[in-house]
């Protein structure tokens, strides 16, 4: 079981949604958590909340889609508190519209935040992890990074890419025989507000996940060194369904409501 006491943890996009809950839970485990976000007001509110809870969370302004900002703020973390022991790549955005209805700018933003930012954060923290032969990389991907979803073309593409990057990095670290753990998280929709309005046809099989439950499972996975966390377990069936002819696969996706989940999407206000 991993001990997080006094470890330096970096959570990107950590002032709201699942990132905020994971940051708080990790801080409760005794870690010094640094949260990156683009809202100075939200960062200040989170720091105040952490102070009242007597846990250690430090907020830093950082647009993770800005490569130089990521490198600069990573250096500052190291100078102020020490090298990052656990990186949680959580920051994400969603357009929530069909492919042709999604503007070029939104597509570029989705890929910059949900995918390219992972390259920059990994480049920033991995060298120290390798030198110290210690660390943990956590990628918050999505069930939409396992199966394409109508209304999530750019989001699915970005999460498929994040999953692929994570897997390749895991393989490279394994080849280097480094004691650096990796955890990829692929949840179904979570009730954080980011996907407000989405629906599920079979809530017993594919429930909209409670945010507190999802955060606790993620932190447990980090502490236990679990390499892959998929929630709920029914999502694992996608791997088996891919063995079927494509027309059958598509028909089952329709039956389980995957292609209509976004029909009433509203998103976070």
pLDDT tens digits, 122-175: 999 999 999 999 999 999 999 999 999 999 999 999 999 999 999 999 999 999
The span from the CA of 218 to the CA of 185, in Å, is 7
Q: What tens digit of pLDDT does each residue of 213-226 get?
A: 999 999 999 999 99
Residue 269 clears pLDDT 70, i.e. is over it: no
Name the residues annotated as catalytic: 155
Helices (H) and strands (E) in the chain, counts: 9, 7
pLDDT at 133: 96
CA atoms of 42 and 62, how far apart (whole Å): 12
At residue 1, the pLDDT reads 64
Q: Which of 64-78, 198-212, 225-239 is predicted least confidently? A: 198-212
State whether CATH 3.40.250.10 applies to domain 8-260.
no
Is pLDDT of 232 > 90? yes
* Domains of the chain by residue range: 8-260
Strand ordering across the sheet containing 86-89: 57-61, 32-37, 8-12, 86-89, 135-140, 180-187, 228-231
Assess contact for 57 and 50: CB atoms under 8 A: yes
Q: pTM of the predicted model, to two decimals? A: 0.94
* Residue 111 pLDDT: 98
pLDDT in tens, 12-66: 999 999 999 999 999 999 999 999 999 999 999 999 999 999 999 999 999 999 9
pLDDT in tens, 236-261: 999 999 999 999 999 998 998 888 88
Q: What is the largest CA-CA distance in the chain?
A: 55
């Amino acid at each position: 079981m991993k001990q997080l006491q006094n470890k330096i943890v970096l959570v990107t996009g950590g002032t709201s949604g699942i990132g905020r809950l994971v940051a708080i839970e990790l801080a409760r485990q005794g870690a010094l958590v640094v949260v990156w976000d683009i809202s100075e007001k939200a960062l200040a509110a989170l720091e105040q909340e952490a102070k009242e809870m007597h846990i250690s969370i430090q907020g830093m302004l950082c647009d993770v889609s800005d490569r130089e900002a990521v490198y600069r703020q990573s250096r500052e973390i190291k100078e102020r508190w020490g090298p990052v022991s656990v990186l949680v790549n959580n920051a994400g955005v969603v357009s929530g519209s069909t492919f042709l209805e999604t503007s070029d700018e939104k597509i570029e933003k989705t890929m910059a935040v949900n995918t390219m930012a992972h390259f920059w954060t990994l480049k920033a923290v991995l060298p120290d992890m390798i030198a110290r032969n210690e660390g943990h990389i956590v990628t918050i991907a999505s069930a939409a990074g396992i199966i394409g979803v109508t209304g999530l073309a750019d989001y699915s593409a970005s999460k498929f890419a994040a999953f692929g990057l994570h897997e390749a990095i895991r393989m490279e670290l394994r080849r280097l025989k480094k004691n650096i753990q990796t955890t990829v998280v692929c949840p179904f929709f979570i009730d954080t507000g980011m996907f407000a309005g989405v629906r599920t046809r079979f809530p017993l099989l594919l429930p909209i996940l409670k945010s507190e439950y999802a955060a606790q499972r993620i932190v447990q996975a980090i502490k236990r060194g679990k390499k892959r966390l998929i929630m709920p377990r029914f999502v694992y069936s996608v791997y088996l369904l891919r063995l079927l002819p494509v027309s059958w696969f598509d028909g089952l996706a329709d039956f389980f409501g995957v292609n209509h989940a976004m029909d009433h999407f509203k998103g976070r206000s």
